[in-house]
Amino acid sequence: MQNHYEVLGLSMHATQEAIRRRYRELVRQYHPDVNPSPQAKERFLRIQEAYQVLSDPERRRHYDALLRLQMGEPPSARYSQPRTPPQRSSPPPQASQPKPNPALDEARRAILQAERAFIQGRLQDALYWAKQATRLAPRLAKGHEIIGDVYRTQGHYDAALNAYTYAIQLDPNNADLQRKLDATLAHTQARAASPPSPVLRNLPALKLPPEWKLYAAQSLGWGAVLFLLTLAYTAPGAPLMLGWSLNLVAYLGLAGFLTGFLMAVSRWVAPIGDAFPWRRRGGQISAGGALVGLSALCFPLAVLLYTLLALTQGGLSRSVARAFGVGSALTLGFALLYPHDWLYTALFGGNLLFLALMGGWYLADNLRLTP
């Protein structure tokens, strides 16, 4: 099976810019909207998985270490226990053989499990296997390093600093480990140098894992979308044109924008440039431009056209299908709750809501891709 570098057609020494450039080239070639063959779909999923690992510098370092171990390279100093140099006065016996160390072999297998778990984002599993490795072989520096990586990713910088400090004592020549230690130490010193606010000084510190903070932000965002749906019923405003009110226009726009932003941040959808190819080919209108333009004129017709194309030509894009599905559900919700004219809201409300959804999607992609 190909590794991530072979999937992208790059070497292990490729730069981050080369990885991003190659990823864009392959996406334009194998995206389901462009290449409807079943082989292209499978290749596209493998390209996405490879890019998610190699585009993250921390996950890439762990993946490289895991790849070198799988390739059978000799273990480096940070994977082996330090040994005292032999005495020159007493030469080693001729028939001496290195004694097997089952605990060390088991610790190295635990290191492999910890590396895989960290690469896949399973931080608790990575922490468990790394602690297992340090329990079996306390002087194995790599186990303490992975513990520090997990704690630093979770935001527990003091615990990460302790783990890195112990690891650097076992492997003082590891430049990468020294860089991590310096960065963590600088962060803790900067945090200690800034005194807390007098108002918040006596309050307990709430330390949450990063994924919990993301879930809390997503809950607030989706709660705001549901609140806008409720306002369409409780505060509809006075109807002006087509039975619509200014309140309804604001609710549709805000709900669509929040929905697109939340879907992109939650990674329910691919980057907007990949889901809706904009580039013109041979003087023809691109599929993404045609769908977005048609949705601005008649959203139900755009949904119907995309469904027909997906059924007849294949290549259904999950991102586009989710965007159309969520946009249709929200439009129907506003039509059912808005008391003045549900028919016009159902027919034309999606025009405004979907364009706002695209705007939130585009903004989230730019914020996420900004270095």
Burial (CB < 10 A; 0-12, 13-18, 19+), residue 319, is buried
159 and 39 inside one domain = yes
In this structure, is residue 203 part of a structural domain? no
362 and 222 inside one domain = yes
Amino acid 49: pLDDT: 82
Whether this prediction's pTM lies above 0.85 is answered by no
214 and 159 inside one domain = no
What is the number of structural domains in the chain?
2
Closest CA to 309 of 322, 325, 291, 296: 291
Per the CB < 8 A criterion, the answer to whether 119 and 63 are in contact is yes
DSSP per residue, 28-82: HHH-TTT--SHHHHHHHHHHHHHHHHHTSHHHHHHHHHHHHHHTTPPP-GGGS--
Q: The domain containing residue 55 runs over which residues?
A: 4-75+103-192
140 and 279 inside one domain = no
Regions in the chain scoring below 50 on pLDDT = 74-86, 95, 199-200, 203, 281-283, 369-371
214 and 181 inside one domain = no
144 and 173 inside one domain = yes
In this structure, is residue 90 part of a structural domain? no
111 and 218 inside one domain = no
Q: Determine the Cα–Cα distance for residues 44 and 36; give it in Å rounded to an integer.
A: 11
Q: Determine the Cα–Cα distance for residues 42 and 85; give it in Å rounded to an integer.
A: 52
